[in-house]
Amino acid sequence: MRIEKIEGFGSISGGDYDRVEIEGIGKIRGDIKAGSIFIEGVSKCLGTIVTEEFTCSGIAQLSKSIRAKHVRIEGIVKQTKAKMEADDIYCEGILLTNGEISADSIEVDGCISAPEVYGDRIKIVHCFREKGYFSIPNFSGVFGGRRIEKDYSTVDVMEATNIELYGVKADSVSGNIVVLGPGCDIKHVECDGTLRIHPGAKVGKISGVIPIPWEN
């Protein structure tokens, strides 16, 4: 197996690997294809990433697109204007991007800031405050002004079959089954199936259906 591991300082030029592990401070200089990529330290990737499994419990800065079967974020992932595509994405850390996120299943139990999120099933539970991320610097202005907000996650446009949101601010949310929990602030909701809105959520315009009562 071709395995690359960085424990102190180092860099990878790119290429094909079975496994890549970065525990120190590492840089991936070119396009990389790997069976799995694990980041526990600090990493900067300048090329595209294609992998079966991408796991980040440290800090990763991605300059180009990533395509993975499974993405798991327990630390911080910052991505410039490029796509993140996966079969499933699970984030209990911070995901900050200026590009499009697309996956069959997206579950966030942390904080996300993105312009476009698309999927079949999307669930976002914002818990920035509970996870004690106040000591982490705000990256506002680094990626076109996208911010990490302590009170809510932010997504400009979101589309999926099933959507469940808690503590999310968005311009447009479109889906078949939509649940908007407490702390949500949505400008426009389009729903062609079932829509539930918590009394603690704020919604501007509703298109498609009449909301049914919230069930505790």
Of the candidates 214, 216, 169, the one whose C-alpha atom is nearest the C-alpha of residue 194 is: 214
| Sequence-distant (≥ 6) Cβ neighbours of residue 114 within 8 angstroms | 95, 96, 97, 98, 99, 100, 101, 146, 154, 155, 156
Q: What's the confidence (pLDDT) of residue 133?
A: 40
One digit per residue, pLDDT tens: the chain, 216 residues?
688 888 888 898 889 999 999 998 999 999 999 999 999 999 999 999 999 999 999 999 999 999 999 999 999 999 988 999 999 999 999 999 999 999 999 999 999 999 999 999 999 999 854 444 434 444 443 444 566 777 889 999 999 999 999 999 999 999 999 999 999 999 999 999 999 999 999 999 999 888 998 876
Q: What's the confidence (pLDDT) of residue 142?
A: 43
54 touches 70 (CB < 8 A): yes
Position 166, amino acid:
Y
Q: What's the confidence (pLDDT) of residue 7?
A: 87
Q: What's the confidence (pLDDT) of residue 138?
A: 46
| Sequence-distant (≥ 6) Cβ neighbours of residue 27 within 8 angstroms | 10, 11, 12, 43, 44, 45, 46
Assign 135 to helix, strand or coil: helix
Strands 42-45 and 59-62: parallel
186 burial level (CB within 10 Å; 0-12, 13-18, 19+): buried
> What is the value of pTM for the model shown?
0.90
> How far, in Å, CA of 27 to CA of 21, rounded?
11
Residue 179, CB half-sphere, CA atoms under 13 Å: how many?
Answer: 13
User: Given the structure tokens 């070119």, which residue do they identify?
Assistant: 30
Of the candidates 57, 173, 158, the one whose C-alpha atom is nearest the C-alpha of residue 100 is: 158
